Amino acid sequence: MSNGRPVAVIDTNIASYLLRGATIGWEYLRLLQGYQGRVAFVTAAELRFGAQRRDLGPRRLAHLERFLEEYPLIPFEPGMERVYATIMAEREKMGKPMEKSDAWIATVAIHHDIPLATHDSNFAHTRGLRVITASAEARAALVPIPSAHSHPLQLDMRCQCSY
């Protein structure tokens, strides 16, 4: 899946920050140094839907297409439906239901055993998901979830800086 660099899934909110040139996007670029960023098929669909809903002009559509070339899509694969079902059921049993699109994004990361870069804290209670975040709220929500079958959540904040 990668060109020698580790891969990270870019959540829709991070993609949006990067596309808009938001200041927080620069922090995520720093956190993702050394990673090859990819977007889940759901994120690509959400970005394209947003572009159509807002009726973006040709310049902004071209910008979106360049972004999707730089951050290639991770497609659906057989077996992901089982991971998705497990996530949705576990989260519901915990009393912390998850939006379907977020569950699919988490599914892609868990299925491929790669971290998810997100600014959302709603991914925190997803067993087996590793998260890269600049959000203090999301970091605070990342607590180990005991399970006899898996490792606790892991926060991947390795500095890729060179001094």
Burial (CB count <10 Å: 0-12, 13-18, 19+), residue 28: buried
CA 58 remoteness from chain centre: 27
First and final C-alpha spacing in the chain? 29
Q: What is the residue-averaged pLDDT of the chain?
A: 86
- Model confidence pLDDT, tens digit, residues 12-29: 999 999 999 999 999 999
- Domains of the chain in start order, with CATH, are 7-155 (3.40.50.1010)
- Compare 144 and 66 and report the one with higher pLDDT: 66
User: Over 60: is that where the pLDDT of 37 sits?
Assistant: yes
| Interatomic CA distance for residues 28 and 88, integer angstroms | 27
Q: Kindly give, in sequence order, each residue whose CB lies less than 8 Å from that of residue 24, ignoring residues fewer than 6 positions away.
A: 17, 119, 134
